[in-house]
Amino acid sequence: MGKSQMLGGDDEGRVLRQIIEATPNAMVMVNEFGLITLVNSQTEHQFGYSREELLSMTVDRLIPDRFRPRHKGFREGFFDNPDTRSMGAGRDLFGLHSDGREFPIEIGLNPVIIDDRPQVLASIIDITERKRAEERLLHVVEAAPNAMIMVNSLGHIVLVNTQTERSFGYSRDELLSMNIEDLIPTRFKAKHDGYRMGYFHNPDRREMGAGRELFGRRKDGSEIPVEIGLNPIQVLDEQHVLASVIDITERLVVQATESAERADRLRRSILDSLPFSIIATDSNGLIVTANPAAERLLHAERNELVGSRISEIRDGRLDQVPLLAVRTHGVDEREVEYHRRDGVDVPVNEAISLIVDEVGEVTGYLAVAYDITQRKEAEAFIRHMAHYDFLTDLPNRTMLFTRLDAELERAAREKTGLAVIMLDLDHFKRVNDSLGHHIGDELLLQMAARLRSEVRTNDLVSRFGGDEFVLVFTDVQSAEELTERITALLELIPEPLICNGHELIVSASLGGSLFPQNGSDSTTLIKHADTAMYHAKSAARNSFQWFRDSMLDETNDKLVMAAALRHALDRGEITVAYQPEINLTSGEVVGLEALARWNDIDGSEIPPDRFIPVAEDNGLIIRLGEHILRTACADAMRISESLGRPMRLAVNVSPRQLRDKEWLTVLKRALADSGLSGNQLELEITEGIFMEDPRTVVEMLNTVRALGVAIVVDDFGTGFSSLAYLTRFPIDKIKIDRSFIHDLVDSSADAAIVDTIIVMAHTLGMTVVAEGVETEQQEIYLRAKGCDQAQGFRYSRAVPVEQFAAAIS
């Protein structure tokens, strides 16, 4: 059989089975007729079948339907000419799970002979995570602050980010039509072609530019000094290199102005003051010195470390200092674990560099490391939070849709029923407004636990957002069963809850949709359940309705809401409440935020998150915004006069208002009619405005600031993933979103985010306000970190203008 391996006999068969069982990949042996003859445990895990099921089927069962017609011919061709092959890299191959789910794979084929009969041993790797990583690469490259350039082995540029366009002066289309040599000065081009070929012959991570001169050539012919980091990367079975290019012009200017003596003193000072562990060894790996950070990291004194081998801090697992192939110019970096003297292993990021004397001889190694325990914990936390709600730990929207899609596929396959139930707590906002968000959060936590206890093992409870939950009932057999379960829910929900000493009784409105009667996909079923829930809420609290085709769809519902809002404006039902803003240094009330309130004619309060989006969609936000602005300006003057000092007023402005050509006139008239100075007014915008035409936005904001009005970014941290707009747009103040303040004292992740925002804003000359402050501990922390202002229930809820003076006294 050519390259086939000859295997036979009981002993050799046992060895083969043991080897296959120990392999971390799925291993499947198939004979020339396609029958599976041998699998390992990983195969059962990866495809969802038991070993007995797998050994009773053909390999075609593990392949999606669309690939099966070609597979027989491929198998026959392989047995006609067996050889070792790798498949999947650069093209789409998929495996089929027992539940019908497909997943991307790579396959290695190896021919073997068992008892004189040809078979093929397939090693199957699930590359789902790798595919996701490739998608994340594109986002990471664009978000990088440096110029990022991907080049293939021929030198063709295949990928760049926006920073590359800025650094070299070419457009993206121009760059993607060029070779990398076009960005190199003429005097270096001759050597670069050979260097590139050598790199692709032996690709590895390299850093270039430190300690020697490297230059890039811009479109206008000018040169810029650069440092480059090279990272090999496989794209579609083709070797590429991803280059990170840093313009070091400013750095060189600074270095040129420093004296050698000052630089030496600074280096010595840095070694002892840096928070990074720094350990120097001789060429044999014996530690010759360590800085204080290394002592703290390893729980050992310097004299205990000096003279020992560096391999000991790695628990003897690495005898040599280098982790990778250390180069004269560059640093090798990766994540390892350091072994502390108390026996605890600490994950660190360690960089190894050479210590070279004047004649180029390697005299030792320098290991620089820092503890990444919190980062590892944060990464695990982020992975979890990508699919689960932060407060209740229930599946979030992303996980809901993923799970629901899978259950719908199973229900269709097994011809069973499925129900989607949308649940919204009645009057939940009153709990937040009267008792505070911490009570509201405790209520949501207890309600989540109550709902989880009521559903079956295969059912799903998800927090959809705010006070809304989605329940998915699977394996539904009859309408009578559903009626019983929903009735039990309606009886369970209003039972009293004790939240921080408060006995609360809440009801809920429920709406449901059925598969397949009301839809065949997740989006439709949830939308229809939501429609039914709103009809239940409008009919009677703590009630349930199934979706019917006769119900108003979402568009008609918004039209009804828009009509009601128009009448509310005519009847004067829209009022303004004010929440104070506190100077954290002095404790003095320095401002107030205007918040729209709608109390319907029947006495019910309609929350802003329902009518504001409707107003935005239907254009009523122009009229509503003018009403709020004019009312608030007049009220701010009244409050300032009653307090005997000027107060700053914050008013929210929507993107649609800013786009209205008459809005500037409205703003000027509101200031003039009320007598309020422009210096007393702050306009709060959301991060979404920066998605508009940047030039138009900057012009508008600059015009507003010319009136003395300040620009504030509201709910900071929940919108953009890039922070570049902070430096590109005229912003005076940012408000940290309440979601980061809530667990500030107990969550290191939230604390790190808040600390970073405060430092960053102050560096850019901006004022920082913390929203949603509710406890003394939060206030103490924010004051210690230099946060300028705060607002929240700790100081006062939003109150009518007549009650403001009393609320802050």
The answer to whether residues 349 and 425 belong to one domain is no
Provide the pLDDT for residue 570: 84
Q: Does the pLDDT at position 436 exceed 50?
A: yes
Provide the pLDDT for residue 211: 52
Separation CA 11–CA 19 (nearest Å):
12
Contact 20, 5 (CB under 8 A): no
The answer to whether residues 654 and 759 belong to one domain is yes
Contact 545, 535 (CB under 8 A): yes
Q: Does the pLDDT at position 792 exceed 90?
A: yes
Nearest Cα residue to 647 out of 595, 596, 713, 589: 589
In order of 260, 268, 280, 528, 568, the CA distances from 264 in angstroms are: 6, 6, 17, 71, 73
> How confident is the model over 555-572, as a mean pLDDT?
77
In a domain, 801, yes or no: yes
Strands 26-31 and 605-606: unpaired
Q: Does the pLDDT at position 8 exceed 80?
A: no
Contact 509, 486 (CB under 8 A): no
In a domain, 381, yes or no: no
In a domain, 379, yes or no: no
Q: Among residues 126, 160, 190, which one ends one of the domains?
A: 126
- Using one digit for the tens of pLDDT, what is the confidence trace for 223-279? 999 888 889 988 756 889 998 898 888 877 777 666 545 655 656 666 777 788 888
Q: Does the pLDDT at position 740 exceed 90?
A: no
Contact 95, 126 (CB under 8 A): yes
Provide the pLDDT for residue 720: 44
102-111, 310-319, 615-624, 769-778: least confidently modelled range: 310-319
Nearest Cα residue to 744 out of 708, 710, 783: 783
Separation CA 234–CA 769 (nearest Å):
46
31-35, 135-139, 576-580: least confidently modelled range: 135-139
The answer to whether residues 96 and 82 belong to one domain is yes
Separation CA 383–CA 55 (nearest Å):
36
CATH number of the structural domain spanning residue 16: 3.30.450.20
In a domain, 376, yes or no: no
Nearest Cα residue to 630 out of 672, 693, 690: 672
Token pair 């709990």 in the structure block, residue: 431
The answer to whether residues 35 and 90 belong to one domain is yes
In a domain, 78, yes or no: yes
In order of 645, 715, 766, the CA distances from 588 in angstroms are: 11, 23, 19
> Mean pLDDT across the chain, nearest whole number?
85
Which residues is 223 bridged to in the sheet? 217
Provide the pLDDT for residue 322: 55
- Strand blocks (E) in 550-635: 574-583, 589-599, 605-606
Provide the pLDDT for residue 98: 94
Residue 654 backbone dihedrals phi, psi, to 5 degrees: -90, 160
Looking at residue 155, the DSSP 8-state letter turns out to be -
162-171, 178-187, 195-204: least confidently modelled range: 195-204
Contact 102, 63 (CB under 8 A): no
> How confident is the model over 642-653, as a mean pLDDT?
94
Identity of the amino acid at 628: I
DSSP 162-223: HHHHHHH---HHHHTTSBGGGGS-HHHHHHHHHHHHHHHHS---EEE-TTS--EEE-TTS-E
> How confident is the model over 624-639, as a mean pLDDT?
95
Tokens at 133, concatenated:
């990583």
Provide the pLDDT for residue 634: 96
CATH number of the structural domain spanning residue 692: 3.20.20.450
Q: Among residues 254, 287, 306, which one ends one of the domains?
A: 254
87-96, 347-356, 754-763: least confidently modelled range: 87-96
Which residues is 28 bridged to in the sheet? 39, 122
Token pair 């190694």 in the structure block, residue: 365
pLDDT confidence bin for 210, thresholds 50/70/90: low
Identity of the amino acid at 779: E
Residue 440 backbone dihedrals phi, psi, to 5 degrees: -60, -40
Tokens at 221, concatenated:
């012919």
Q: Does the pLDDT at position 327 exceed 80?
A: no
Domain extent for 154: 131-254
Provide the pLDDT for residue 67: 86
CATH number of the structural domain spanning residue 537: 3.30.70.270
Number of CB atoms found within 10 A of residue 550's CB: 5
The answer to whether residues 474 and 340 belong to one domain is no
- Strand blocks (E) in 444-486: 460-465, 468-476
Angle (CA) 398-403-404 rounded to 5° is: 100
The 3-class secondary structure across 102-146, one letter per residue, is EEEEEEEEEEEEECCEEEEEEEEEECHHHHHHHHHHHHHHHHCCC
The answer to whether residues 692 and 597 belong to one domain is yes
The answer to whether residues 109 and 135 belong to one domain is no
The answer to whether residues 660 and 784 belong to one domain is yes
Which residues is 576 bridged to in the sheet? 596
> How confident is the model over 70-76, as a mean pLDDT?
86
Q: Does the pLDDT at position 737 exceed 70?
A: yes
Strands 497-499 and 468-476: unpaired
Q: Among residues 126, 146, 179, which one ends one of the domains?
A: 126
Provide the pLDDT for residue 251: 79
- Using one digit for the tens of pLDDT, what is the confidence trace for 402-425? 999 999 999 999 999 999 999 999
Identity of the amino acid at 31: N
In a domain, 262, yes or no: no
pLDDT confidence bin for 111, thresholds 50/70/90: very high
529-533, 554-558, 698-702, 774-778: least confidently modelled range: 554-558
Separation CA 681–CA 685 (nearest Å):
13
Angle (CA) 640-642-645 rounded to 5° is: 40
Provide the pLDDT for residue 331: 65
In a domain, 143, yes or no: yes
Identity of the amino acid at 703: T
The answer to whether residues 598 and 643 belong to one domain is yes
1-10, 36-45, 239-248, 626-635: least confidently modelled range: 1-10
Q: Does the pLDDT at position 1 exceed 50?
A: no
The answer to whether residues 288 and 241 belong to one domain is no
pLDDT confidence bin for 316, thresholds 50/70/90: low
The answer to whether residues 94 and 168 belong to one domain is no
Number of CB atoms found within 10 A of residue 796's CB: 19
Provide the pLDDT for residue 91: 60
Token pair 């085709």 in the structure block, residue: 549
Separation CA 487–CA 481 (nearest Å):
10
Provide the pLDDT for residue 268: 65
- Tell me the three state secondary structure of residue 324: coil
pLDDT confidence bin for 722, thresholds 50/70/90: very low
Q: Does the pLDDT at position 458 exceed 60?
A: yes
Provide the pLDDT for residue 323: 47
> How confident is the model over 135-155, as a mean pLDDT?
84
Residue 679 backbone dihedrals phi, psi, to 5 degrees: -70, -15
In a domain, 233, yes or no: yes
- Using one digit for the tens of pLDDT, what is the confidence trace for 355-366? 887 787 888 888
Cα R_g (the chain), whole angstroms = 33
Nearest Cα residue to 565 out of 607, 503, 522: 607
The answer to whether residues 243 and 350 belong to one domain is no
pLDDT confidence bin for 9, thresholds 50/70/90: low
Separation CA 17–CA 4 (nearest Å):
17
Separation CA 528–CA 711 (nearest Å):
40
In order of 381, 493, 735, the CA distances from 786 in angstroms are: 27, 43, 14
Looking at residue 388, the DSSP 8-state letter turns out to be B
In order of 1, 45, 80, 249, the CA distances from 4 in angstroms are: 5, 28, 12, 59
Tokens at 437, concatenated:
């968000």
Report percent pLDDT > 90 for the chain.
38
Domain count, the chain: 5
Tally the C-alpha atoms within 13 A of residue 253's C-alpha that lie toward its C-beta.
5
Token pair 């936390």 in the structure block, residue: 381
